[in-house]
Amino acid sequence: MMQDREGRMLAIGFDADDTLWHNERLYALTQGKFRELLAPYGDAAWIDQQLYATETRNLAHFGYGIKGFTLSMIETAIELTGGRIGGREIGQIVEWGRSMLVSPVELLPGVEEVVATLAQEYALLLITKGDLFDQESKLARSGLGGNFQHVEIVRDKDEAVYAAILAKHKIPPSDFLMVGNSIRSDILPVLKLGARAAHIPYAITWQHETAALPETALDGYFQLEAMDALPALVAQL
């Protein structure tokens, strides 16, 4: 394992969805079908707004992930149609959710090579939020699992959660770099701990994950165009 001049182990954390593999575009495609289903009851913007409100309200109950998204679509469909949605349409929504759960895992460009290379010298952690079964299944299907010393699947990713993970694995924040696509979940809470974070933006970002980056965070913040740029940043750090 690569160590710094004081002999401390360097650790790199990776987000999973939309950092290692495509995810949000699957939600976007399904939401497009949902809009079409409810088109007789309202315009696309209104349907999206109502679905997002339902998802946000349900996070405390269902958490993040496909199952919660599917339940939120069903609840929204019932509300927006005044209960007129039929069993056939509800069944279609359930089938969309089932299809999402078994959808192939497609790695983002450069991920397989970069992760395998860094795993030879650094301690790698996978830190992702969502449904335990779904995330474990995607990791197994991705073929990347053997590269990570530790896998943490959590309900949410905030400062307290990251602090608990680092304490659990005896990693000082100064020796930790988090890599992810979400400013809200992968960048801000890590910077608040005094660790560093590399932001690799994804083409689509769920509204709930958007956040502004404060100027005070820029010292430990790095933005990369793609995963291929990560090894050079790690070497620099």
pTM given for the model: 0.86
Locate all alpha helices (DSSP H) within 81-110, ordered by sequence.
87-101
pLDDT at 59: 86
**Tokens in use for 79?**
């509300």
Q: pLDDT class for 6, splitting at 50, 70, 90?
A: very low
Ordered by where they begin, the domains of the chain are: 11-21+106-236 (3.40.50.1000), 24-101 (1.10.150.240)
Q: pLDDT class for 202, splitting at 50, 70, 90?
A: confident
Quickly count: other Cβ atoms within 10 Å of residue 232's Cβ.
Answer: 10
Listed in sequence order, the residues at least 6 apart from 167 whose beta carbon sits closer than 8 Å to its beta carbon are: none
